[in-house]
């Protein structure tokens, strides 16, 4: 027997499907959050796949300006039934100010800019509404509404293109895309891929939902240094939470008990105090940070450890340094090359002292 979900939504169903946006440290600023399409009534329609691509359209800026994501969200929906189905869909913005957390008051918080939607390759007009029923009225903002008519056994592609603010913090960047609403569709999502294109800094550590795999990590050489692309994937996925990333860019030397990257001549004693094995490890750290493939098995095992559960959050995985098929020496920054030269000088002095 077919069950129905009211247009005001079933609070019981949504409370099981939704999770709160993650809590951020006090030194962070808030950007936006993307959202999956939702049905406004329970439906036989299945989300066969989604490919969400985030391109860094403008860089992060800690001087009062926002970086910006350019998003292309492609969905494939299937009608598995032998009857025609007409469905109203909603594309909700998230609210980052007020509610259960505090935002920074930016008028762009959670706002989609330049939103364009295509159904079967044809642009559609949308009307707007809001969720008035607590607690979702505190967490969801504007909802863009449009109707789609499915023929029996028809597959339809729906594409959204829009921009919204990135979410920087001190030493990290976060990204959240509301996917818990995917549980409102019929059955599991066949394939879900989330792609980040053009990150200015290769993250030292990545935390991501355990239901996903990191299937691509590549830092590409550019005229300004390097840009990083990441791709995460889940198959036959039943969402119980949101797709949330933490991209940590904190200084990497401390992880291996190596001297700081910006060491001064006055701190040369830090290098002198290292034993030969640690000194060799530190000399190779800048190369590992950009994914160089080491012939030495010991170095490879030290740097490229398999992903594991996050130390402070059992609901996410964490992965550190990653092999990079596009590695080139040009990816190293001037400071990193200075770091390598400093280590080599200490090694040379030690070798000279043995003669």
3-state secondary structure at position 65: coil
| Domain 11-248: top CATH class | mainly beta
Q: What is the pLDDT of residue 308?
A: 56
CA distance 131 to 196: 29
Of 10-14, 136-140, 145-149, 334-338, which range is least confident?
10-14
Which strand (E) or helix (H) includes residue 236?
Answer: strand 225-237
Q: List phi, psi (to 5°) of 57.
A: -80, -30
Residues 227-280: pLDDT tens digits? Answer: 899 999 999 999 888 899 999 877 677 778 888 877 554 467 888 889 999 999
Query: CA 113, 46, 243, 92 torsion: positive or negative?
Result: positive
- 111 contact partners, CB below 8 Å, separation of at least 6: 32, 93, 141, 142, 164, 165
List, in sequence order, every residue forming a beta bridge with 117; answer none if it has no partner.
160
Q: Are the CB atoms for 192 and 179 separated by under 8 Å?
A: yes
Q: What is the mean pLDDT of the chain?
A: 79
Helices vs strands, H then E, count in the chain: 6, 19
Q: Tell me the pLDDT band of 20, cut-offs 50, 70 and 90.
A: very low
Q: How many CB atoms lie within 10 A of CB 64?
A: 7
Q: Tell me the pLDDT band of 115, cut-offs 50, 70 and 90.
A: very high
Q: Tell me the pLDDT band of 100, cut-offs 50, 70 and 90.
A: very low
Q: What is the pLDDT of residue 6?
A: 31
Q: Pick the residue with more confidence: 93 or 329?
A: 329
Residues 84-95: pLDDT tens digits? Answer: 999 989 888 877
- Among 181, 213, 195, 193, smallest CA distance to 307 is for 213
Cβ burial, residue 299 (10 Å; 0-12/13-18/19+): middle
> Long-range contacts made by residues 230-233, C-beta under 8 angstroms, separation at least 24?
230/195, 230/196, 230/199, 230/206, 231/193, 231/194, 231/195, 231/196, 232/193, 232/194, 232/195, 232/208, 233/191, 233/192, 233/193, 233/194
Q: How many CB atoms lie within 10 A of CB 37?
A: 23
Residues 191-211: pLDDT tens digits? Answer: 999 999 999 888 888 889 989
Q: How many CB atoms lie within 10 A of CB 231?
A: 18
Q: Are the CB atoms for 235 and 191 separated by under 8 Å?
A: yes
Above 60 in pLDDT, residue 162?
A: yes
84-90-94 Cα angle (round to 5): 160
Compute the average pLDDT of residues 168-189: 85
Per-residue tokens: 280: 């060799």
Find the DSSP H helices in 171-296: 268-272, 276-289
Instruction: Look at the domain 253-354 and name its fold.
Output: Methane Monooxygenase Hydroxylase; Chain G, domain 1 (1.20.58)
Above 60 in pLDDT, residue 311?
A: no
Q: How many CB atoms lie within 10 A of CB 116?
A: 12
What pTM does this model have?
Answer: 0.79
Q: How far, in whole angstroms, is CA 306 from its chain's centroid?
A: 19
Compute the average pLDDT of residues 275-292: 92
**Domain residue spans of the chain:** 11-248, 253-354
Residues 132-147: pLDDT tens digits? Answer: 655 556 666 788 999 9
């Amino acid at each position: 027997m077919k069950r129905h979900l009211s247009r005001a939504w079933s609070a019981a169903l949504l409370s099981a499907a939704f999770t709160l946006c993650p809590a951020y440290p006090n030194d962070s600023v808030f950007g936006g959050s993307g959202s999956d399409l939702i049905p406004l009534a329970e439906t036989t329609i299945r989300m066969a796949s989604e490919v969400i691509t985030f391109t860094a359209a403008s860089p992060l800026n800690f001087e009062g300006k926002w970086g910006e994501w350019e998003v292309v969200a492609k969905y494939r929906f299937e009608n598995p039934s032998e009857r025609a189905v007409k469905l109203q869909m909603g594309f909700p913005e998230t609210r980052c100010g007020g509610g259960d957390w505090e935002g920074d008051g930016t008028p762009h918080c959670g706002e989609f800019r330049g939103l364009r939607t295509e159904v079967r390759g044809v642009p559609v007009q949308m009307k707007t509404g809001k969720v008035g029923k607590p607690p979702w009225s505190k967490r969801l903002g504007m909802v863009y509404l449009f109707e789609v008519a499915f023929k029996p056994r028809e597959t339809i592609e729906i594409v959204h293109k829009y921009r919204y603010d990135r979410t920087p913090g001190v030493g990290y960047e976060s990204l959240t895309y509301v996917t818990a609403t995917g549980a409102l569709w019929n059955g599991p999502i066949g394939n879900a891929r989330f792609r980040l294109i053009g990150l200015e800094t290769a993250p030292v550590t990545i935390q991501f939902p355990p239901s996903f795999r990191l299937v691509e990590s590549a830092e590409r050489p550019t005229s300004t240094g390097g840009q990083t692309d990441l791709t995460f994937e889940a198959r036959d996925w039943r969402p119980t939470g949101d797709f949330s990333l933490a991209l940590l860019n904190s200084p990497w030397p401390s992880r291996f008990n190596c001297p700081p990257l910006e060491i001064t001549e006055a701190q040369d004693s830090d290098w002198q105090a290292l034993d030969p094995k640690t000194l060799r490890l530190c000399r190779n750290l800048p190369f590992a940070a950009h994914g160089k493939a080491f012939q030495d098995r010991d170095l490879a095992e030290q740097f490229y450890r398999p992903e594991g559960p996050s130390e402070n959050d059992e609901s996410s995985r964490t992965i550190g340094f990653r092999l990079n098929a596009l590695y080139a020496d040009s990816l190293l920054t001037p400071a990193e090359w200075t770091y390598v030269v400093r280590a080599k000088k200490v090694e040379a002095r030690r070798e000279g002292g043995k003669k």
